[in-house]
Structure 1
Amino acid sequence: MPVHRRQPSIEFLEFIGVVKENGSEQISLPPVLTPLSYDYVLVAKNAENHVTEAFKKQRDYIDELKKKNFKVTKIIDDDLAFYGIQAPKEIFERYRYLLKVSDACNWSSDQNFVPLSTRIRIVHFILNHTTIRSGLGLRDLMKAKVFEARFCLHEKRKQKELKESWARWTACLQGQPITAVRNYFGEKVALYFLWLGWYTYLLIPPAAVGIIVFLFSLSQFNSSPLIKEVCESDTVMCPLCDQGCKVWQLSETCTFAKLSLLFDNNGTVVFALFMAIWTTLFLEFWKRNRASYVCEWKVSDWSEEEEELILEIVNNVDCKPKKFEHSYVHSTLVIICVTVMILLIIGLTHALVVFRVIVAGFLASEPSGFLRQHANIGAMVAGAVLHYITITVMTRVNKIVAVKLCDIEKTRSFAATEKSFTVKMFTFQFFTYFSSLFYVAFFLGRINGHPGEYVRLAGKWRLEECHPSGCLTDLFIQMTFIMVLKQIINNVFEFSGPWFRRFMKQKRSKKLQRKCAHCYLKDETESNDGAELCENCKLKDWHKNYELTDVNSFSLFNEFLEMVIQFSFTTIFVAAFPLAPLLALFNNIIEIRLDAIKMVTLERRMVPKKTNDIGVWIDILEAIGVLAVIANGLIIGVSSDFIPRLLYQYHYGPCANGTSSDCLTGYINNTLSIASLSDDTVKFSPEQMITSAGVTVTSCSYKDYRDSDYKFTQQFWLILAARFAFVILFEHVVVICKFVAAWFIPSAPMQVKNDKLFDKLHRLKEELKSFEP
């Protein structure tokens, strides 16, 4: 009797996705046809010799899983062995029951099934806490290369839905399906994207205000008497170095004086005050937004420590909890190590200072007139580039040191270890990024001495001075290089790395895809072995997930760290860079989609983890907010010329006695002191005192408030007192505003609080009904 081949219907062909590519038909399997009932996959090298130590450990570990009633399916593919892991149903039932009776009950009463994301999290925990007879766990076996990889599988249907609604570049200006992200990646990833989206959204007001301040500064270009005084000045300035430098005209800094005015004006003060209050509002509104989502997800009362206890019992009923311990010896050792590490990072900052001083002296001695004229700028740019390279290297070193210090602490749970690591790593990274910026903002040009008594390194190189247009110009250049380079280079490598690795590995996946499609299109009666159909499709899916970029517990941490460092740049030194919020806004719009595309299509699926907050990051953000108030107050009060201009305008300038309508006329000359060659302490050579026009001068000016004996004038001390008075006043006003804003805005919407109240009441009544006979 003839066998009739079953013809696939049009709906089936559309379902499996027959598409045209390069003139030929290519069949892609439908999402639901790929077996996804496996909770986890382990990958190992296929041992040809079954007596090897690695193979024995593989077998022992798989046997331990089978003792826990796990179903393990092994498929060989050339030199790789894939183990598909399926957990028994009773494990998840046990988890549901323990979660329901726990103190932090957050399981919905109408939820009678365990989502795959929860299944993966439970299986991941059990796999990590399963040991072989020698006491080695999965992490130890991974380090010993007994297993090559471990991962949970992407769900094709949900992956496609997320890609269409979220993980694509054309969705840059759309909202995020946070609940769908939570259902797929877990609450931890969802809260990261919720925070990032909220941070990006609230960057719009400071970006707009920053643009207004920038435009306000541009409008003063033609009307500012300060720029006119600099550009039309015939003042001769003292040489900026010992060798190769000559006296120069103040008018040569006309362009940089205009640049300095962009971020050193009265609008900057208002903007810094605005950003300090914005930081508080951002954090308070974030708490409200977070509360709405965690209430909807039923995780408001969730506890990570209790979750780990439940998982311990699910894994082993006879388990014993790990006790809380504290060692003063270990804590003291950690504090000493952290202090040494911070001092080392600060030492690298001093090395950068020395590097810039040497580069400035080298450029100043060059025969090229252009290099001599821009020696300070060249040194600043070279220092910024070297600083970025130092940051890249130290990031790896900081991570290794932070991990080692966490091992010394011997924390009780993974949650405690993660918190400890986060605090240490951020502290190291913060000093790595900002030590140089703090030096430029608060020390550069203030400890270099004066003509006749310059401070020198090794008695040879003069310490660098601020740029003639002002100290904030140096800070602006440093921030621009670090922030722009960091964001652009990080984004390029963050996306291109996983994409390139996936592109290079697609050949094997396409071969398995054709085999799997062929099996599905064959008639069932012609299939000699039904297992072939399943194995080909399982292997195709497992191999495709295996070829994606690996993820670990640091993956999400790295994303958070990158954004919190950017938040620090945006808030701490915003007075010197009003356009920082705008750059951060543009970067974050790209960053959200970049991270989404990377997680959904280029990386293995992250193990879904439950949480109800962003953890210790919220404490770090609040600390940054406080530091931003202090730093911006110091920048405006100490680093900028705001206070000297204000004091000159109302006390020393022409407006003080009503002789002029322009209160800042003569301000530039007022900030300069004079050094004369007739003074024996001034050791400028005769060649240095020849101008570019060939005229020999007998005196030169330098920026400071000193008399002919190089002692500070009364005006210097009055300005210093006014600076510190402004800093104290600024910080107290902002701190009061922060406290008022925090008090005025509730941490959770009233609707959320009421929903939690009625939900608890409903659960208690249900428990009472079940108790009554």
Structure 2
Amino acid sequence: MGVVRENGNEQTSFPPLHTPLSYDYVLVAKTIENQQREAFKKQIEYIEELKKKNIKVTKIINDDLVFYGIQAPKEIFEKYRYLLKVSDACNWSSDQNTVPLSTRIRIVHFILTHTPIHSGESLRDLMKMKVFEARFCLHEKKKQKELKESWARWTACLQGQPITAVRLRPRRITTLPFSVAIIAALLFFCCEVAAGVRRRNYFGEKVALYYLWLGWYTYLLIPPALIGVIVFLYGLAFFNSSPLIKEVCDADTVMCPLCDRRCKVWQLSDTCTYAKVSLLFDNNGTVLFAMFMAVWATLFLEFWKRHRASYVCEWKVSDWCEEEEELILEIVNNVNCQPKKYKHSYLRSTLVLICVTAMILVIIGLTHALVVFRVIAAALLAKGSWEFLTNHSNTGAMMLGAVLHYLIITVMTRVRRQQRQGLGLLSAASSLTLISSLSLQINRIVAMKLCEIEETRSFAATEKSFTVKMFTFQFFTYFSSLFYVAFFLGRINGHPGGYVRIAGKWRLEECHPSGCLTDLFIQMAIIMVLKQTISNIFEFTGPWFHRWLRRRRTQKLQRKCAHCYLKDEQEAKDGDELCDNCKLRNWLSNYRLNNVDSFSLFNEFLEMVIQFSFTTIFVAAFPLAPLLALINNVIEIRLDAIKMVTLERRLVPKKTNDIGVWINVLEAIGVLAVIANGLVIGVSSDFIPRLVYRYLYGPCANGTVPDIDCMTGYINNSLSIARMGDHNILEFSPNQMVTAGGLNVSHCSYKDHRSNEDYSLTPQFWLISAVRFAFVILFEHIVVIFKFVAAWFVPSAPMQVKNDRLFDKLNRLKEELSEVVCSALKLLDRRRDPALDHGSVGFRRRARTRTRSSRLSSKCTDEMTIVQ
């Protein structure tokens, strides 16, 4: 059905389309001198297939490169707009009279990737066969310049994000006092987006939602970052007055050797600094902070859903359906197309599940390798000639293990960005990046192979499957070692007379008498700091150095074209045609940028979701993690903007109304954060043992209120004694039982609750274990209840958004009804008085017809007004 104008006449076609100045797409191929080669024939055949679809192809040769400029005819976009209008789920509105360039690029990209040659190869296959070297859409110079000046620069950190990736008007903070407004602006504009949006026609909704989510995540990191600093300062305030620290620093307790042969007994007071660091992160404040972060993760997701709903409603994509969009593009590309059917194979699913399980076991096996490395490193450092390393062999081994863990993370999880010559030279400047560039990208390769086994129906389904698998592999790569440190370190090492050894030779590590939480803190701090600093540095300098090399190679061409149409190119009107030199200059400038692919945005999302995992899962051991994440994200927003606008080719704009499967991943992380933080507090920290000692074994037991602190004597209570005269103690040689002052000792202490006679576990150990278990269950239930209440209390969409969508649907139905009424009246008028083209009678009848048509037009206008 056509569109009825206000005068009553039916418009059979849509308004004229905007004619773009630039081409929709560019294909690049190497010059092939031998025209008999198979690659040349396939290249020509593919171009001919495009021309059969009335696609304009402009060929320009430059040295050893052949550029094909692709420009689709307006009929293709008229089909798209009509199908979009009759669609039930694509949010058509009557003001969509033009197709923006971002939509044109998306349509042309779909046509190019779904146009096969006679032998069946698509463009993706031809790219693998090196028939074409590159494919990309062009940057728009004016908008690119606007983005660079207003957003994609470091000095724009205090400005709002252009969520539509073009421009926006920042909110004004005028109701606050000046000083408060300045602070609010610093916190708000660094990460949050402004509301006044002009348009979103550059990178598409998918990129816009990424920056919308990243800005919202960064903005909501401000409360946990501040509270984390307060928790840290709370531990710092009692740094010197805590009886636990005083007991460690003033103790004359002799501790058992930490390794065999070379290690000797040592004084507990030697680890005074270690005990102080432990108390900074293992105090009563971390319990409340962990509960807060578990609830915060839920509130963050619920408020994100509201925040997203406001923007997708404004963008008219609330009811957008990916499947229907795909069908529309299929019809636009080929009217006689057939939909791809959904398929499921239990055999393939079982095979994929087995492979995923095997890959996870391999990653966990690397954790065991790290454990072995730390044990051997501690033994070797203890044998060294440097006294400092000998005395701190366990700490040194733990830090070396953390660095090695980071290297494994870099090798296993790096999703390579395709870059060319020159980047490897810069990568070689750092051993970490050299390992990254030479790595096999194991996780990525395995995930892609498993997706190929599944044979998913569409690219969207492949992307979803790849996202789940890749995140699973990366999660285990990042956190397997952390789970060992948090829940197994110091708990499976045994005791004097029954130490657990690797290959019967090397003893497992032990925890410090002040607790194991400091080991987890050091591991997290090293990984987060290295990951955020080194990765960000090379993430920016690598593409920048690569672009600099490319610019040097294109300098001659730029000089050649500097006098040709440069100014007119920026001020050209619709329909103006540029000369070949200016076209080539523009295409070459885009060709020299860093390559992007379908997973470029996936890489950014994955990096931030992993950071979200660090921020929430083990936050009880590292309260400063939200602060580090906040600082990193403020930099990350501008870094990603600079890369996308100035250093990389333009991403193909994609349409969507959500962040996809990532929301399910974030919800799973939120649930895991509750479990992990409950276990960290209940099992890893000394919160429960201190609580039991305070009320059952300490000076304040049985309700007494002595003059001394209730925690006095806790350190001695947490230690057990091993005697050299016992026949079970065979690990320690006589030379190991000599103190640094030359004094021979007959017994030493170790951290555990065991009997001094038969080394069996004491009743206090079992009581503490029972309280630990009860606390974990109680903690998780309380937090889960809070999570459900928060999810119920915060609606997923604001009421204003729901009302706007309701009125939009009502207005659309009214518009369709008015079109039907006007078309029916016009058809009825034609049947009553057909225009006869002969004689004066015909002239009078045509005059009456025009008069009646005029009245009919007024009537249709009145009908539309009444309906609306």
- Do the aligned partners of residues 36 and 348 (structure 1) sit closer, same or farther apart at CA in structure 2, a change above 3 Å counting? farther
- Do the aligned partners of residues 122 and 471 (structure 1) sit closer, same or farther apart at CA in structure 2, a change above 3 Å counting? same
**Aligned residue in 2 for 1:728:** 777
Deviation larger for 761-770 or 465-474:
465-474
Q: Which amino acid counterpart does residue 342 of structure 2 have in structure 1?
A: F
Instruction: Give the SS at the match of 1:654.
Output: coil
Give percent identity, aligned residues only: 80
Matched, 1:51 2:36: yes
Instruction: Give the SS at the match of 1:758.
Output: helix
Residue pairs, 1:33-432, within 5 angstroms = 36-181=21-166, 182-395=200-413, 396-432=441-477
Deviation larger for 405-414 or 509-518:
509-518
Instruction: Give the SS at the match of 2:32.
Output: coil
Cα offset for 1:493? Answer: 1.5
Q: Is the 8 A contact 1:519 1:533 kept in 2?
A: no
Instruction: Give the SS at the match of 2:132.
Output: coil
Deviations 1:393-421, CA, capped at 9 Å, x for gaps: 11211111111111111111111111111
Matched, 1:746 2:746: no
| Distance in 2 (alpha carbons) for counterparts of 1:180 and 1:347 | 44
Q: Pick the aligned partner of 1:690 from 728, 738, 747.
A: 738
Q: Is the 8 A contact 2:513 2:715 kept in 1?
A: no
Instruction: Give the SS at the match of 1:323.
Output: coil
Q: Is the 8 A contact 2:21 2:577 kept in 1?
A: no
Instruction: Give the SS at the match of 1:451.
Output: coil
Residue pairs, 1:618-657, within 5 angstroms = 618-656=663-701, 657=704
Q: Pick the aligned partner of 1:516 from 561, 564, 569.
A: 561
Q: Is the 8 A contact 1:643 1:719 kept in 2?
A: yes
| Distance in 1 (alpha carbons) for counterparts of 2:407 and 2:512 | 24
**Aligned residue in 1 for 2:829:** none
Cα offset for 1:738? Answer: 0.5
Deviations 1:735-768, CA, capped at 9 Å, x for gaps: 0000000000000011000000000000011111
| Distance in 1 (alpha carbons) for counterparts of 2:635 and 2:623 | 21
Deviation larger for 368-377 or 199-208:
368-377
Q: Is the 8 A contact 1:42 1:83 kept in 2?
A: yes
Instruction: Give the SS at the match of 1:262.
Output: helix
Cα offset for 1:512? Answer: 2.6
Residue pairs, 1:453-602, within 5 angstroms = 453-520=498-565, 534-602=579-647
| Distance in 2 (alpha carbons) for counterparts of 1:685 and 1:522 | 86
Cα offset for 1:468? Answer: 4.0
Cα offset for 1:36? Answer: 3.9
| Distance in 2 (alpha carbons) for counterparts of 1:81 and 1:368 | 64
Cα offset for 1:519? Answer: 2.3
| Distance in 2 (alpha carbons) for counterparts of 1:522 and 1:462 | 74
Q: Which amino acid counterpart does residue 325 of structure 1 have in structure 2?
A: K
Gaps of 5+ in 1: 1-33, 524-530
Instruction: Give the SS at the match of 1:609.
Output: coil
Cα offset for 1:200? Answer: 0.3
Cα offset for 1:469? Answer: 3.3
| Distance in 1 (alpha carbons) for counterparts of 2:566 and 2:694 | 86
- Do the aligned partners of residues 491 and 521 (structure 1) sit closer, same or farther apart at CA in structure 2, a change above 3 Å counting? closer
| Distance in 1 (alpha carbons) for counterparts of 2:552 and 2:668 | 49
Cα offset for 1:521? Answer: 8.0
Instruction: Give the SS at the match of 1:194.
Output: helix
Instruction: Give the SS at the match of 1:700.
Output: strand
Cα offset for 1:291? Answer: 0.2
Q: Is the 8 A contact 1:472 1:576 kept in 2?
A: yes
Deviation larger for 619-628 or 159-168:
159-168
Instruction: Give the SS at the match of 1:518.
Output: coil
Q: Which amino acid counterpart does residue 260 of structure 1 have in structure 2?
A: S
Q: Is the 8 A contact 1:512 1:536 kept in 2?
A: no
Deviations 1:590-616, CA, capped at 9 Å, x for gaps: 000000000000000000000000000
Instruction: Give the SS at the match of 2:563.
Output: helix
Q: Is the 8 A contact 2:26 2:68 kept in 1?
A: yes
Cα offset for 1:464? Answer: 1.0
Q: Pick the aligned partner of 1:769 from 818, 831, 838.
A: 818
| Distance in 2 (alpha carbons) for counterparts of 1:364 and 1:173 | 51
**Aligned residue in 2 for 1:663:** 710
Q: Is the 8 A contact 1:264 1:576 kept in 2?
A: yes
Residue pairs, 1:23-42, within 5 angstroms = 36-42=21-27
| Distance in 1 (alpha carbons) for counterparts of 2:45 and 2:513 | 72
Q: Which amino acid counterpart does residue 755 of structure 2 have in structure 1?
A: D
| Distance in 2 (alpha carbons) for counterparts of 1:533 and 1:549 | 25
Q: Is the 8 A contact 2:261 2:733 kept in 1?
A: no
Gaps of 5+ in 2: 1-18, 167-199, 414-440, 569-575, 825-868
- Do the aligned partners of residues 68 and 533 (structure 1) sit closer, same or farther apart at CA in structure 2, a change above 3 Å counting? closer
| Distance in 2 (alpha carbons) for counterparts of 1:624 and 1:639 | 20
Cα offset for 1:689? Answer: 0.3
| Distance in 1 (alpha carbons) for counterparts of 2:283 and 2:759 | 29
Q: Which amino acid counterpart does residue 771 of structure 1 have in structure 2?
A: V
Q: Is the 8 A contact 1:376 1:467 kept in 2?
A: no
| Distance in 2 (alpha carbons) for counterparts of 1:510 and 1:749 | 53
Q: Which amino acid counterpart does residue 765 of structure 1 have in structure 2?
A: K
Cα offset for 1:515? Answer: 2.7
Instruction: Give the SS at the match of 2:202.
Output: helix
Instruction: Give the SS at the match of 2:761.
Output: coil
Q: Which amino acid counterpart does residue 761 of structure 2 have in structure 1?
A: F
Deviations 1:249-296, CA, capped at 9 Å, x for gaps: 000110010000111000111110111111111000000000000000
Q: TM-score, normalised by structure 1?
A: 0.93
Q: Is the 8 A contact 2:290 2:619 kept in 1?
A: yes
**Aligned residue in 2 for 1:26:** none
Q: Is the 8 A contact 2:90 2:321 kept in 1?
A: no
Deviations 1:348-377, CA, capped at 9 Å, x for gaps: 111111111111111112232212111101
Q: Greater CA radius of gyration, 1 or 2?
A: 2
**Aligned residue in 1 for 2:6:** none
Q: Is the 8 A contact 1:570 1:581 kept in 2?
A: yes
Cα offset for 1:516? Answer: 2.5
Q: TM-score, normalised by structure 2?
A: 0.83
- Do the aligned partners of residues 522 and 245 (structure 1) sit closer, same or farther apart at CA in structure 2, a change above 3 Å counting? closer
Q: Which amino acid counterpart does residue 769 of structure 2 have in structure 1?
A: L
Q: Which amino acid counterpart does residue 450 of structure 1 have in structure 2?
A: H
Q: Pick the aligned partner of 2:760 from 702, 707, 711.
A: 711
Cα offset for 1:183? Answer: 1.8
Q: Is the 8 A contact 2:753 2:761 kept in 1?
A: yes
Instruction: Give the SS at the match of 1:73.
Output: strand
For the aligned residues, what is the CA RMSD? 1.5
| Distance in 1 (alpha carbons) for counterparts of 2:771 and 2:37 | 77
